Amino acid sequence: MKIKKGDSVIVIAGKDKGKTGKVLAAFPKLNKVVVEGVNISKKHQKAKKSGSKGQVIDKTMPINASNVMVNEAGKRARVGKKLIGGKFVRISKQTGKEI
């Protein structure tokens, strides 16, 4: 998976297509990412104390990593690897710049 935590991404498919956000968490084994402000679902939460009420909270759920692309200067970019100084570095396929 070429998308990592902290990347700025654009959603390219699904109900939130076109939205941008920052990756909050990445799950490489599941091939999923959690993007800030994308794929929000309502979760009913039980009352924690006897006197308090339960509530409905908004929770960002993971989406498939294939539905997002890295956002580079407002445009989406494909990600590749390049060997620089004995280390592999992620680069943009379009510009060749390091991500």
Helix (H, G, I), strand (E, B) or coil at 39: coil
CB distance 13 to 67 below 8 Å = yes
Helix (H, G, I), strand (E, B) or coil at 85: coil
Alpha-carbon span 42 to 10, nearest angstrom: 22
Q: Which domains does the chain have, with CATH numbers?
A: 8-74 (2.30.30.30)
DSSP 46-83: --SSSSSPPEEEEEEPPEEGGGEEEEETTEEE-EEEEE
pLDDT > 90? residue 67: yes
pLDDT digits 0-9 by tens, 23-39? 999 999 999 999 999 99
pLDDT digits 0-9 by tens, 35-45? 999 999 999 99
- Determine the residue type at 19: K
